[in-house]
Amino acid sequence: MYYYLILCIIAGILLFVLLGALTKKSDEVVYNNLDRAGVISNFALTVGYVLISPLYLFLGLISCPNYEGFLGVIGWIISFLNASAALFCGLGLGLSVAFRKKGKSKLSFAIQFLGVVAILFTVISYCVFTGNLLQTLN
């Protein structure tokens, strides 16, 4: 899971930078108040994601399935989703910048919270499934 987690971190950072940098701003796009709020919340979310990254990265790292067979498959799926939180953080922020440059203000504002949803899923699923589908830390 360690190598997958590292790949997700790198992919999330690359998606954030590349989607934001390579998307060209349309000529007819005029930024409104929702776009300005989106820029501020993008910055705040980026800082927040970095500050709480030890929490969700640690939970993603220690998420390992507890069983074999069908329950093991479900455990692996949850483990991979838990380890993918950093990927979804970068993807959400990168898509937010790209949609804003294309003039889709509402979608841009909504998609930037994809990382928050991924982090909440990681924390909640680890708390719910540890000892059941996921192994305990001991």
Strand partners, 99: none
Whether 85 and 115 have beta carbons less than 8 Å apart is answered as: yes
What are the structure tokens assigned to 89, written together? 């953080």
Res. 50: pLDDT tops 90: yes
pLDDT at 51 > cutoff 80: yes
Q: Which residues pair with 22 in a beta bridge?
A: none
pLDDT per residue as tens digits for the range 82-125: 999 999 999 999 999 999 999 899 999 999 999 999 999 999 99
Of the candidates 81, 80, 91, the one whose C-alpha atom is nearest the C-alpha of residue 114 is 91
CA distance 104 to 35: 9
CA–CA distance, 95 with 103 (Å, rounded to integer): 12
- Which H or E run includes 87? helix 85-101
A 10 A CB-CB count for 89 gives 31
Whether 138 shows a pLDDT value over 80: the answer reads no
Average pLDDT of span 38-63? 95
Measured on CA atoms in the order 125, 123, 130, 2, is the torsion positive or negative?
positive
